[in-house]
Amino acid sequence: MKILYLEDHDFFANQVKRAINLLIPESSVTHCRTYDEASKQASISNYDISIVDFILTNGKTGIQFVENHKSNLGRIIFLTGCIDDPTINAISHYSSISKLESFKTRFKDFLNGTVVKIHE
């Protein structure tokens, strides 16, 4: 399984990759730290799952990335530290997990086909 992971916070990303490795040992995770890096990867390869941070550097957002590369990203899930109303509304059409929640548990639900949304 090919997973694209867009996240600029390295420390947090390491833990997420660790959790993914435990859940899906056979997966390969492509970790991108910036919008441009992820765009490049998405344009050259198709992914089964894409985990996208909402707030990116340089004023870009994960939603912009997703809308521009949707066809190559497979199943999409947002991972965000923002739980304000505009953010939740913007990603309401997608699965989402808050960074404060248990990533492993919620991602497991997502893999099983459940639609996961940020808990209020």
Partner 1 sequence: MNNFYTFLFLEVLFVLPLIIFDFILFLCVMVTFILWKIYIVTKIKKTYLEEQIQNNIDSYKKLEKIELSSKMGVNNELINIISGVNHEVSPWLGSINNIIECLDEEFSGNYLKRFDKQQLTEYIMQNLDDIKKASEQSINILSSISFGIKKFRNYSIFYANIYETLKTWLYLVIYSQSFKGIIDSTNIHLEKETLDFHVQHSQMLLSQILINLIKNTIEHNKQLEPHQIRIHIWGDANNKKIIYQDNGIGIPDNIKKEVCLGNYSSKDLISENTGGIGMASIVSYCNKMGASLEEIGEYGKGVMFVITFEKNLSDSSKVTKSPVGQGSGGYYNLEATSIHKLK
Helices (H), the chain: 10-23, 35-44, 62-69, 85-90, 103-111
- Residue 31 Cβ, how far from partner 1 at the closest point, in Å? 14
Near partner 1 by CB under 8 A, which window of 26-34, 38-46, 102-110, 111-119?
102-110
HSE (CB half, 13 Å, CA atoms) of 10? 0
Of 26, 44, 59, 84, which one interacts with partner 1 (CB under 8 A)?
84
Near partner 1 by CB under 8 A, which window of 28-36, 44-52, 76-84, 112-120?
76-84
Answer whether 54's CB lies under 8 Å from 26's CB. Answer: no
Q: Residue 6: what residue type?
A: L
Q: Which string of x and - marks every residue 37-56 that binds partner 1 (by CB under 8 A)?
A: ------------------x-
- Residue 33 Cβ, how far from partner 1 at the closest point, in Å? 13
Answer whether 12's CB lies under 8 Å from 101's CB. Answer: no
